[in-house]
Amino acid sequence: MNLNDFKSLFDQYYEGIKSFLYYKTGDIAVAEDIVQEVFIKLWDKREQIEMKTVKSFLFTIANNLAINHLKHQNIVFNFSKNESRPGKVESPHFQLELKEFQESLERLLAEMPENYRIVFLMNRIEKLTYSEIAERLDLSVKAIEKRMSKALAYLRERLKHPI
């Protein structure tokens, strides 16, 4: 693999790996550091990697490196929050309610079990299909279906009585 091939892999997977690491650690700076390490590992092993396994190799390494980093830190997310329905003009009251709802949602996501959280965010933020998520995480589509439903149930249970 030469540098050009390596760069196209970087272009293809950089965002996905970084997002995955953010969902896992809640720290964008840490995510950016680890994604560098992941690609350095790929470069080191470039002669031994087959193209068809590159995707799962990258996510596996990212997962391993992030696990070492976690060690019981409290996660705090800070998503950039846009309007739910862009283009539609809403009243200030609605906008305030929406903002508060989004913030509660963000807090709950940080507390949600990692298994559900990662799958949920990969779909909601990166708009990945269940098949695509299953491939990256090396799980079955059925497993993704279950985790997604559990994530939604978890959030609904805690959001249905807004304070």
Query: Which residues form the interface with another protein (CB under 8 A)?
Result: 3, 7, 10-11, 14-15, 18-19, 22, 28, 32, 35-37, 39-41, 43, 45, 53, 57, 60-61, 63-65, 67-68, 78-85, 98, 101-102, 105-106, 109, 113-115, 120-121, 123-125, 127, 129-130, 138-140, 143, 145-146, 148-149, 152, 155-156, 159-160
Which residues are CB-neighbours of 39 under 8 A, at least 6 positions away?
Answer: 6, 10, 14, 58
Output 93 or 160, the one with its CB closest to another protein: 160
Dihedral of alpha carbons 68, 74, 78, 83, sign: positive
CB of 12 to another protein, least distance (A): 11
Cα 114 from Cα 116, distance rounded (Å): 6
CB of 51 to another protein, least distance (A): 13
Residue 150, class by beta-carbon neighbours within 10 Å (0-12 exposed, 13-18 middle, 19+ buried)? middle
Encoding tokens for residue 125?
């933020």
Q: What single-letter amino acid sits at 161?
A: H
Cα 97 from Cα 53, distance rounded (Å): 45
Output 50 or 92, the one with its CB closest to another protein: 50
CB of 101 to another protein, least distance (A): 6
Output 92 or 105, the one with its CB closest to another protein: 105
Q: Are 34 and 48 spatial neighbours (Cβ–Cβ below 8 Å)? A: no
Output 75 or 146, the one with its CB closest to another protein: 146
- Give the CA distances from residue 21 to residues 33, 36, 157, in Å, rounded to whole numbers and listed in that order: 10, 11, 27
CB of 62 to another protein, least distance (A): 11
CB of 34 to another protein, least distance (A): 10
